[in-house]
Amino acid sequence: MLPTFVFQHMNPPHPIQPELPILHVLVVDEDEVARSACLAIARNLGYKAEEVPHLGQVRSTLARFPTDILLVDISSREEGVLQAVAEVHALFPRVAIIAMAPVDSASAALSAMHCGAVDYLNKPFTLDELASSLERISVSHVINSETRKLRERLKLQDGLGQMIGRSPQMEKLYRMLAKVAQSKHPVLILGESGTGKELVARTLHAFGPSPDKPFLPVDCGSLVPTLVESELFGYVKGAFTGANHAKDGLLVSAGTGTVFLDEIGELTLDLQAKLLRALQEKEVRPVGSNTRIPIRARIVTATNRDLATMVERGGFRKDLYYRLNVVNLRLPALRDRKEDIPLLVAHFLNKIHREHPGRFSIHDDALRLMMGYDWPGNVRELENAIEHGVTMASGGEVQIGNLPTGLQDLALSYLHKAMSDGRKVEAASSTTAVVPLAVRERVAIFEALRITNGDKLKAADLLGIGKTTLYRKLKEYEAADAKQMN
Ligand SMILES: Nc1ncnc2c1ncn2[C@@H]1O[C@H](COP(=O)(O)OP(=O)(O)OP(=O)(O)O)[C@@H](O)[C@H]1O
Ligand SMILES: [Mg+2]
C-alpha cells in the first residue's frame, strides 16, 4: 500500500514507451516512506532507480550511478537545500531535475526552477503526474542526445547525412533539422527549385523516430487531382472506373512513417479541404467509402511557391497553411552559399567515381568559374554541370571547355570584360582565357540574331553562313539546353 501523502490516488502504472531508452532515476527524499514509494513507482514504470535520503549523498551517488533524472524533495526549501540542488545542476548539467515539495507555497516552484529544476511536482501528486513528468523528460532526453550525436557527426563531416554543405546557412538548417526530426510535427520545406527540398525531407525521415518505416513521396504538381486524392486517401472496390480492388491510401500505408507532399502549392482547394480534415481528425475516408481509417504518418510538405502570398490571394487555405507550417525549414539558394560549391563539386565527382570506372578531378579555373556563376537551378544544376563536364572531358580533368554552355558564356563574358578593360589576358595563366571555338560560335550567332532583331536570314548573311547551317546550329543549342535542364 502506497502512502496517500505522496500519491492522491493510484491508477495502474503505464510503463514508459518501448522506443524510449531506459533512463536512470535517483530519488532523494528524507521521508523514507515517500522515497520508497517513488522508487517503487519509477521501477514499475521501467526506469532504473536508486534512492538516497540526503542531498549530501547525491554527488557521490552520481559518480557511480549514471543518473539521467534527479527526483528531489525540497520541502524545507532552506537555503542549504536549494544551494545543494543548484550545485548538482552546475556540476552535472545533463541531469534533469524534478523538484517536489508540499503545495504550501506558490514560490516553491519558482525557487526550484531557479536552482535548475526542469519540472516541479506538488506533493501530494498522483501517479499519473509523476509518470508524465518522467516521460516528458525521457522524450526531451532522446531529442537532446540525438541533437548531440548529430552535432558530433557534423564536426567530422561535410554535411548532414546525404546533404553537403558547411556554410553558416546550412549549419543553421542542420540544427533546426536535428531539433525537429525526432518530433512528429508537420514540417514545411521552402526553397527555390533544385535547392534540395526532397533531400531535406528524406533526411528528416532518416533522422526521425521511424527511419525503418516507409518514406512515401507524392508529387501534387504532376498528378491530376483525382489521382492525388485516391493516392493519398485510398479507395474501395468500384469507387471509380478501373478500381477493381480496394487500395489503402499512402497516409494509411505509411504507418508511422513519412508522407512527403511535394509541390503542395499545386493542391486544388477541394483537396486542400480534404487534407485539412484528415490532418485535424487524424483519419481518412477512402474514395467511395463511408468508413474512416485512423492515420499516424508524419506529414512533410515542400514547395517553391510563396505560400503566404497564395494564402493572401485565396489560392491556399489559411487554416491548412498554419497546420502544415508548424515548423518550416527554408533552404538557401546556392548563390547565397557559394563557399559550399567546392565541397559539392568534390561530392558529385566522388559520386560519379563510385558509380563509374575512372576518377575525375576539376581544373582550378573551372572551379573558379563555377564559384562566379549564380546557379539559377541551384544544386541540381551544379550536379548536372559536373555530370556534363565528366562526359565531355577527354582526360581525367574537367576543364572550362567541358562545362555546359551557360558557364562557358560566363567565361566568355569575363574574357570580353578583361579585354575591354584593356587588361592583358594571360594566355595560360588560365584556361579561363581560352574560350573554345564552339562557344565563340554560339556567342557570335546570338549576337547576330540580336543585331538583326531575330531575322535569321539577315543573321546568316552577317555571319557568312548558309541559313540551313544557322537553323541546324539553333536546333543543336535547343537540344543541348533542354538536356541540361533535365
Ligand atoms: N546539400 C546537398 N548536398 C548534396 N546534394 C544535394 C544537396 N541539395 C540538393 N542536392 C541534390 O540536388 C538534386 C536536387 O535536389 P532536390 O530534388 O532535393 O531539390 P528540390 O528542392 O526538391 O527541387 P525541385 O523544387 O525542383 O523539386 C538532387 O539530386 C539532390 O540529391
Ligand atoms: Mg523536389
Q: What is the pLDDT of residues 248-267, one digit of tens each?
A: 999 999 999 999 999 999 99
CB distance 33 to 73 below 8 Å: no
> Best mutation site among 380, 381, 383, 384 for ligand 1, i.e. most ligand atoms within 8 A of its Cβ?
380
Task: Give 418's pLDDT tier (boundaries 50, 70, 90).
Answer: low
For residue 131, what are the contacts with CB-CB under 8 A and spacing of at least 6?
13, 14, 41, 45
Asked if residue 19 is part of any domain, the answer here is no
* Verdict on whether the full-model pTM lies above 0.75: no
**Cα(193)–Cα(190) distance, integer angstroms:** 9
User: pLDDT tens digits for 38-70?
Assistant: 999 999 989 999 999 988 888 888 878 889 999
Q: Do 184 and 273 fall within a single domain?
A: yes
CA distance to 95, 205, 387, per residue, from 158 (Å): 31, 20, 20
* Beta strand pairing call for 327-330 and 361-362: unpaired
Please count the structural domains in the chain. Answer: 3
Q: Do 383 and 429 fall within a single domain?
A: yes
CB distance 366 to 398 below 8 Å: yes
Of 77-86, 370-379, 450-459, the poorest mean pLDDT is in: 77-86
Query: Residue 359's domain is classified under what CATH number?
Result: 1.10.8.60
pLDDT > 90? residue 409: no
If you measure from the C-alpha of residue 404 to the centroid of ligand 2, how many angstroms do you get, rounded to a whole number? Answer: 22
Asked if residue 9 is part of any domain, the answer here is no
CA distance to 121, 277, 280, 306, 326, per residue, from 185 (Å): 28, 16, 13, 21, 7
Range of the domain at 232: 157-332
Question: Chain centroid to CA 375: how far?
Answer: 22
Q: Do 97 and 213 fall within a single domain?
A: no
pLDDT > 70? residue 429: no
Q: Do 392 and 306 fall within a single domain?
A: no
Which residue from 251, 294, 293, 253 is spatially nearest to 275, judged by alpha carbons?
A: 251
Q: Which residues line ligand 1 (CB under 6 A)?
A: 163-165, 191, 193-199, 304, 347, 379-380, 383
Asked if residue 36 is part of any domain, the answer here is yes
Asked if residue 421 is part of any domain, the answer here is yes
* Alpha-carbon dihedral sign for residues 226, 231, 235, 237: positive
Q: Do 122 and 211 fall within a single domain?
A: no
The reported pLDDT for the residue numbered 432 is 43
Residue 237 is classified by DSSP as T
For residue 432, what are the contacts with CB-CB under 8 A and spacing of at least 6?
365, 368, 369, 400, 411, 414, 415
| Helix H or strand E segment including 136 | helix 127-156
Return the beta strands (E) in 381-421 as ranges. 397-398
Asked if residue 108 is part of any domain, the answer here is yes
Q: Do 310 and 181 fall within a single domain?
A: yes
Query: Residue 80's domain is classified under what CATH number?
Result: 3.40.50.2300
Burial (CB count <10 Å: 0-12, 13-18, 19+), residue 91: exposed
Residue of higher predicted confidence among 219 and 8: 219
Q: Do 324 and 467 fall within a single domain?
A: no
Asked if residue 152 is part of any domain, the answer here is no
Q: Do 306 and 349 fall within a single domain?
A: no
Q: Do 68 and 95 fall within a single domain?
A: yes
Q: Do 188 and 138 fall within a single domain?
A: no
Task: Give 110's pLDDT tier (boundaries 50, 70, 90).
Answer: confident
User: pLDDT tens digits for 146-171?
Assistant: 767 766 666 557 778 889 998 999 99
pLDDT > 90? residue 304: yes
For ligand 1, atom 16, which residue shows the shortest CA distance? 196
Q: Do 313 and 167 fall within a single domain?
A: yes
Return the beta strands (E) in 309-462 as ranges. 327-330, 361-362, 397-398
If you measure from the C-alpha of residue 346 to the centroid of ligand 1, how many angstroms do you get, rounded to a whole number? Answer: 16
Which ligand 1 atom minimizes the distance to the CA of 347?
4
Which residue from 212, 253, 214 is spatially nearest to 230, judged by alpha carbons?
A: 253
Asked if residue 89 is part of any domain, the answer here is yes
Q: Do 297 and 383 fall within a single domain?
A: no
Question: Chain centroid to CA 433: how far?
Answer: 41
**Cα(142)–Cα(161) distance, integer angstroms:** 19
